[in-house]
Amino acid sequence: MQELLKLFEPILEFTKDGNWKMIIMWVIGATLIYLAIKKQMEPTLLLPIGFGAILMNFPGTGIAEPLETLYNAGIANELFPLILFIGIGAMIDFGPLLNNPKMMIFGAAAQFGIFFTLCMAAMFFPPEVAASISIIGAADGPTSIVVANTLLGGTEHSGYIGAIAVAAYSYMALVPIIQPPVIKLLTTKKERQIRMKYTQSSVSKTTKILFPIIISIVTCIFVPAAASLIGFLMFGNLIRECGVLDSLSDTAQKVLANLITIFLGITIAFQMSADKFLNTSTLLILGLGLIAFIVDTAGGVLFAKLFNVILKMFKKDPINPMIGAAGISAFPMSGRIVHKLGLEEDNQNFLLMHSIGVNVSGQIASVIAGSLVLGFFS
């Protein structure tokens, strides 16, 4: 009997030591795994993050050491997010954007949430932390990690990186829940029914090849801080569009992106030990992240409505203001949501090509916004 009781001693010691915070982290980890598997919310990242959060919260296991090695090898030097951008670049078809480049202006407008959240977060946190939190509004996981790590890595505030990454990826998964009510609140039924003509243009292969090269050059000249993120994104896209590297493009889209995603998720969990993660600041970061997403969406929609006033002055056809909401970088969910909302109001209202065009422009604009924020505070 005494032998049996000895088996339970570690459990009693564990609870005595006030390790209840670790138990809460297990619940958080389990919740992330549940959301990933059962609700299929960003499973590629939430599952490894959730499992890593559980692993990180056992005393005396030594699991932190290999995770720290991975963290230093791939996140502290920003290698994983950058390599992931090659895969993302190879996945994106800029065709709809090249068809109608002026739509890119809505991608810019939808970055308003980042800067609004920066001001909000500055009321509670030091400037570098506020800047890192604001990038949750980029709706772009790798950009959030790069900015947060550059500004906070190795400082006394590095504990916030885990919460920022978790918030960024969680809200990306929640885009289908967050965006529709905001869009509906800011638009009338009549506005949501506005149809938009789609003029199919033949975008030449040369244009598709030159686009990533020109964007990289423009970025390197005007926003050097964005050079690495945009450069890797456009490198991936060039591999896709050049037409002679299909095998590499396929590898970048699938194998490379998957491999990095596996390590990225579990490595982020290195920042999710109970002592770093469980505090009121984390709750506040989650709240501010939600504000960033809502204001991004609102900014895009309201800018599109303002654009309609100008179009009306010049007696041009109005645009559907919902496409402004697709300017957040969550690709392709945001574009699809706008298309779906258009069909809900009018089953012949096909907005997909417009919304996807705006959505991919949001990818570029969010990196530019993130780099500007980096420039302000680094």
Instruction: Report the phi/psi class of residue 316: left, alpha or beta, with left for phi > 0 and alpha for psi in -120 to 50.
Output: beta
Site for other proteins in 282-311 (CB under 8 A): 284
From the list 6, 38, 189, 197, which residue makes contact with other proteins (rule: CB under 8 A)? 197
Q: Does 210 bind other proteins (CB under 8 A)?
A: yes
Please, which residue, 47 or 120, has the CB nearer to other proteins?
A: 120
Please, which residue, 225 or 268, has the CB nearer to other proteins?
A: 225
- With tokens 């500055």, the residue in question is 122
Would you call 260 exposed, middle or buried from its count of C-beta atoms within 10 A (0-12, 13-18, 19+)?
buried
Q: Does 215 bind other proteins (CB under 8 A)?
A: yes
Task: Tell me the C-alpha to C-alpha distance, in Å, between residue 145 and each of 148, 231, 324, 333.
Answer: 5, 17, 25, 20
Please, which residue, 91 or 284, has the CB nearer to other proteins?
A: 284
Q: Provide the token pair at 84.
A: 């992931």
Choose the binding region for other proteins from 12-20, 147-155, 200-208, 243-251 (rule: CB under 8 A). 200-208
Would you call 339 exposed, middle or buried from its count of C-beta atoms within 10 A (0-12, 13-18, 19+)?
buried
Contact string (CB under 8 A) for other proteins, positions 359-378, x = contact: --x--xx--xx--xx--x--
Q: What DSSP element (H or E) covers 162? A: helix 160-173
- With tokens 């909302």, the residue in question is 341
What's the min distance (Å) between Cβ of 344 and other proteins? 24
Task: Tell me the C-alpha to C-alpha distance, in Å, between residue 262 and each of 80, 177, 287.
Answer: 10, 26, 27
Q: Does 196 bind other proteins (CB under 8 A)?
A: no
Half-sphere exposure of 281 (CA within 13 A, CB side): 21
Please, which residue, 111 or 179, has the CB nearer to other proteins?
A: 111
What's the min distance (Å) between Cβ of 258 and other proteins? 30
Q: Does 278 bind other proteins (CB under 8 A)?
A: no
What's the min distance (Å) between Cβ of 219 and other proteins? 8
The SS3 assignment for 125 reads coil
Q: How many residues interact with other proteins (rule CB under 8 A)?
A: 52
From the list 111, 271, 308, 349, which residue makes contact with other proteins (rule: CB under 8 A)? 111
According to DSSP, residue 279 is labeled S
Q: Provide the token pair at 322.
A: 């919902």
In Å, how far from its chain's centre is CA 239?
23
Site for other proteins in 10-49 (CB under 8 A): none
Choose the binding region for other proteins from 85-93, 96-104, 163-171, 251-259 (rule: CB under 8 A). 96-104
Site for other proteins in 246-265 (CB under 8 A): none
Please, which residue, 210 or 248, has the CB nearer to other proteins?
A: 210
Q: How far is Cα 175 from Cα 216, in angstroms, rounded to an integer?
A: 29
Q: How far is Cα 168 from Cα 370, in angstroms, rounded to an integer?
A: 13
Contact string (CB under 8 A) for other proteins, positions 333-362, x = contact: ----------------------------x-
Q: How far is Cα 108 from Cα 378, in angstroms, rounded to an integer?
A: 22
- Binding stretches for other proteins (CB under 8 A): 97-98, 101-102, 104-105, 107-109, 111-112, 114-116, 118-120, 122-125, 127, 130, 197-204, 206-207, 210-211, 214-215, 218-219, 222-223, 280-281, 284, 361, 364-365, 368-369, 372-373, 376
